[in-house]
């Protein structure tokens, strides 16, 4: 039975962005989101990045999945610009990001593979 999913999108060679996640309502609050993320990041010899506006999420990603704080600059370099260009490719998406950025500061996280 499938109770949830997470999206991991390739940005450049060996670099993926963690995107949306979903867990069916009756199964929420049982750490399923983080278990799925753990399986994903532990089994891949890849780097993972993500962006969030929520410091609570940043903190969980640090504590549960050993993500480190990053910067937009670092993520742009590691993704060869794709992190930005994919957002610019849709006018609606770039407007949404711009509106969010006016209100809140974006936080960036990165997890590099153990052996790189
Ligand atoms: C967000 C969601 C996936 C969490 O699933 P879950 O299995 O209940 O999550 P877990 O039990 O593994 O972890 C709960 C933690 O998720 C974190 N969390 C909440 N929203 C989150 C998000 N958007 N992204 C990542 N982590 C999130 C919180 O830190 C929470 O910890 P807390 O309760 O101590 O504050 C689920 O509530 C859901 O499907 N919501 C509807 C879809 C949605 O809003 N998705 C997020 C957009 S990416």
Domain-located, residue 71: yes
Domain-located, residue 50: yes
pTM value is: 0.86
From the CA of 64, how far away is ligand 1's center (Å)? 13
**The pLDDT of residue 18:** 96
CA–CA dist 44, 83 (Å, integer): 20
Residue that wins the pLDDT comparison between 97 and 107:
107
33 within ligand 1 shell (Cβ under 6 A) = yes
**The pLDDT of residue 39:** 93
**Burial 46-60, CB ≥16 within 10 A → b, else e:** bbbbbbbeeeeebeb
Ligand 1, residue 34: give the atom nearest the CA. Answer: 12
Mean pLDDT across 16-42: 95
29 within ligand 1 shell (Cβ under 6 A) = yes
- For residue range 33-46, list pLDDT tens digits in order: 999 999 999 877 89
**The pLDDT of residue 42:** 87
From the CA of 13, how far away is ligand 1's center (Å)? 28
**The pLDDT of residue 116:** 53
Domain-located, residue 116: no
Domain-located, residue 105: yes
From the CA of 28, how far away is ligand 1's center (Å)? 8
**Number of domains present in the structure of the chain:** 1
From the CA of 45, how far away is ligand 1's center (Å)? 25
- For residue range 47-99, list pLDDT tens digits in order: 999 999 999 999 999 999 999 999 999 999 999 999 999 888 777 777 877 78
Domain holding 49, by residue range, is 4-111
Ligand 1, residue 37: give the atom nearest the CA. Answer: 12
Domain-located, residue 84: yes
């Amino acid at each position: 039975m499938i109770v949830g999913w997470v999206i991991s999108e390739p940005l450049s060679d060996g670099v993926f962005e963690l995107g949306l996640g979903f867990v069916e309502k009756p199964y929420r609050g049982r750490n399923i989101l983080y278990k799925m993320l753990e399986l994903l990041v532990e089994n891949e010899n890849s780097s993972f990045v993500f962006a969030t506006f929520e410091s609570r999420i940043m903190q969980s990603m640090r504590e549960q999945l050993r993500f480190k704080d990053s910067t937009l600059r670092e993520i742009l370099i590691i993704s060869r610009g794709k992190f930005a260009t994919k957002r610019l490719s849709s006018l609606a998406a770039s407007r949404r990001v711009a509106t969010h950025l006016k209100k809140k500061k974006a936080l960036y996280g990165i997890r590099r593979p153990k052996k790189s």
